[in-house]
Amino acid sequence: MHTRESFAGEIRESHSSPEATESGIGGGHLVGRVGPLDLLFFLLTSASLVVLCLVRSRTRLMWSDELLGYGVLTAPSLRDTLAGWYQGADGGGIFFYLFGRIWMEVFHPSALSVRLYSTFSFIGSIGLIWWVARRFYAFAPVAIGVFFVYLTPDVVMWQEVNGRFYGFFMFAAALAVTMTLLTAEKDRLTTVELIGTAAAHALLIGSHILGLVYSASLIVALAVLDLSRRRIRWKLYASALGGWIMLPISAHAILASTSIAEKTFWTTKPRLIDLTYGATLFDQWMIHQLLFAIALFNVGYLMRGRADGHPTGTGFTKSYHPAVFTVVGAIFLAEVVLFAKSRFGISVFADRYLLPIGLALVLLIAEGLSPFFRDSFFAKRSSAWRSAAVAAILLVAFSSRSIRKIPYDFVYPRVGYPERLLNHLPPEKTIVVTFMPTFLLLRAYDPTHHYVYLLDRTYDRSPRASMEDHSLQHLMENWKNAGLAKDDILSFEDILSADNNFTLLTDPSRDIWLKDRLSEPSLSLQPVTSYDEWFQVKVWTVQRRDSHAARQ
C-alpha cells in the first residue's frame, strides 16, 4: 500500500512513450503523473470492495474453505498455525498465515475479519497495479481497466469477499508484476530494486504453490526481453531466483498440500477452448471486454501512427511499451503452462488459480484505450474533470452491479442454517459426521453438541473406493497430523470402540461406504431424517448390538 505522499508524488523517470513528456495539471491525469484524481478513485474503488464485503457478510456464515483457513489462522499459538501450514491443512502459503496471524491479533478473529483480510489484500493489489500502470498510461485508461477487472468478473468479486488466501496471492502477484515493470527497461539497477525483486518473488512463491509458475514466467520473459536487446543482466536474474529460497522452505508443505489429490480432484481437465476462457477469467463480460480491447489496440495504433506522421498507421514500434508486453506475455505464458500441466495430470486450470491474469487484463485494457485519451479533449490541460466524470460514471455502474449481483450466492450457508438442522438432531449427544463441510460448519456454529469427523482412510484406499474423490478426507487427515482438532478427528474403528450409540450424519458420497461398513450384524443402523437445504444430509442412529443378539 502507498502513502498519500507516494501516491500523489510525481514519477520523474523518462518513458519511451511520447505521452510521458506531456505536462500534467494538478489532477495528474496524464501519463507518468499520479495525483488527487488517482487517490480519490483508488479510495472510492476500495470503498466499493469494503461495502461489498460488509453486505456479503451480513447474512452469511463462513463456508468450509473459509473455515479451513480460519482454523489454521486462529490456532492456539503461532507454532500451531505453522504446523497447520507445514502439514498442508489448508493449502495456502506461509506468508498468508504469518501476516494473517498479525491481522487477527489487531482486528480480532471473526468471519468478517478474515474476509476483510482478503478484501484489503485485493485493495493492495489495486494500489500496486494502478500506481505502476500510471507510469505508462493516463488516468482514465488505467481507472477503466481497474474497474473492468476488479468489479466485473464473478471470480474476482467472489474472492474479494471470500476469506481465503487468493487475495493475498493476488497482492503478491501484483508486487512481482510491479517490480518487473520497474526493472524491465533499466540497464543499471539499484540495490533497493534488486532486494525488492527478490522479496517480491519470495512473497509470490510463499503466498501460493502456483506462485512458482508465475515467478518462473516473469523471469523467463525478462530474459527473452534482454536477449532481444542483446544484453544480459545476471544480477536481476539472480535476485529474482533468490526469491526461490522459499521453495526448499515450503517443500514439505507443498507436498502435503498436493498429496490430497492422490488420484482424483474436484477440478476437471481443460479443453483447448478453455485457454480463451481462462484468459478472461471465465467471465463472459470479460471475453467481450478483451475482444473490445484487442479492437481498440489495433485501431489505436493506427491513430497513433497517423498522428505521428505515418499515413498508413505504422507507429507501433514508437508507441508500444516493451515492459508492459513483457509482463503480459509472462502471465499468459503461465496460463499456458498451467493448461499443459492440467492436460497431463491433476488439473489446476481453475479460475481462482488464474487470478493474476487480471493484472495483465488491466494493462491490456489501458493499452487499448490509451490512444483515445491522447491528443483529444481528454488530454487537454483543462480536461481533468472530463476524465473524472467518465471514471465516476463507470465506477458507479460497476460498483452498483457488483454489490447488487453479489456473486456465488449459493456458496455461503445463510444465517440460521445450523439452527434448522439442529432441530433434526438429538440434544447433547455425540454427532459423527462423514462430510468435511458439514463437520466444520456445525463444529464452528453449534456449541451444544460434540462433533466428531469420521476418518476411514483404510476404506478410501481400498479398490472399492479407489475412483472416488477423497481429497476432503485426506485434508482432514492433514488436520489431524497438524494437531488441529485432533481429538475430534477419529478413525472408523476408534469411533466404534469409543461409543456404542451415536448419531451419524452422512452425505451422498458415503452411500456406498454406508452399505459396506455398517452392514455388519453387530451394528444397528436406523434412519432418522434427511435434510437438504444446503448440503444433502442424512441422519442415522448407529447402535452396537450385544454379542448374544448379534449371534442370533
CA angle 323, 295, 22 (to 5 degrees): 50
Residue 2 pLDDT grade (very low, low, confident, very high; cuts 50, 70, 90): very low
Lowest mean pLDDT among 23-27, 314-318, 377-381: 23-27
DSSP string, 219-248: HHHHHHHHHHTT---HHHHHHHHHGGGHHH
**Looking at residues 90-110, what average pLDDT do you find?**
95
Percent of the chain with pLDDT over 90: 46
State the amino acid at position 362 in one-letter form: V
Mean pLDDT of the region 177-194: 95
424 vs 325, which has greater pLDDT?
325
Take residue 462 and report the three cell numbers written for it.
Answer: 481400498
- Give the sheet arrangement for strand 501-506, strand by strand: 489-491, 450-455, 430-433, 501-506, 537-544, 523-531
Beta bridge partners of 539: 505, 529
Q: What is the pLDDT of residue 97?
A: 97
Cell 456404542 belongs to 500
> What DSSP line would sit under 75-140, residue for residue?
SSSHHHHHHHHHTTSS---HHHHHHHHHHHHHH-SSHHHHHHHHHHHHHHHHHHHHHHHTTTS-HH
Q: Which residue has the higher pLDDT, 450 or 303?
A: 450
What is the signed CA dihedral for 425, 426, 431, 432, rounded to 10 degrees?
-70
Residue 47's pLDDT band, with cuts at 50, 70 and 90, is very high
At position 231, the amino acid (one-letter code) is: R
Residue the block writes with cell 481429538: 487
Percent of the chain scoring above 70 in pLDDT? 79
Q: Quote the pTM value.
A: 0.86
Mean per-residue pLDDT, 7-32:
39
417-544: CATH class: alpha beta
pLDDT band, very low/low/confident/very high, at 30 (cuts 50, 70, 90)? low
Give pLDDT tens digits for 358-415. Answer: 999 999 888 888 877 664 445 555 456 666 777 777 677 666 666 555 555 556 787 7
Among 170-179, 200-209, 282-291, whose mean pLDDT is lowest?
Answer: 282-291
Please list, in sequence order, all residues whose beta carbon lies within 8 angstroms of the beta carbon of residue 404, skipping any fewer than 6 positions away.
none
Q: Which of 140-149, 266-275, 315-324, 372-381 has the lowest mean pLDDT?
A: 372-381
Instruction: Please say if the pLDDT value at position 262 is more than 90.
Output: no
Distance CA 101, CA 71 (A): 11
Question: Given phi > 0 = left and psi -120 to 50 = alpha, else beta, which region is 234?
Answer: alpha
The Cα 168–Cα 159 span in angstroms is 10
Q: What is the pLDDT of residue 74?
A: 94
Closest CA to 6 of 35, 29, 27, 26: 35
Torsion angle, alpha carbons of 91, 93, 96, 102, to 10: 100
Distance from C-alpha of 445 to C-alpha of 447, rounded to nearest angstrom: 6
**What confidence score (pLDDT) does residue 298 get?**
59
Phi, psi of 243 (to 5 degrees): -65, -15
Whether pLDDT at 427 is above 90: no
What residue has cell string 469427523?
453
The mean of the pLDDT values for the chain is: 82
Unique residue bearing C-alpha cell 505536462? 23
Contacts of 74 (CB under 8 A, 6+ apart): 104, 109
Listed by start position, the domains of the chain span 36-60+91-311+318-373+384-407, 417-544
Strands 430-433 and 501-506: parallel
Say if strands 489-491 and 450-455 run parallel, antiparallel, or are unpaired.
parallel
pLDDT in tens, 506-543: 988 888 888 888 877 788 888 888 888 778 889 998 88
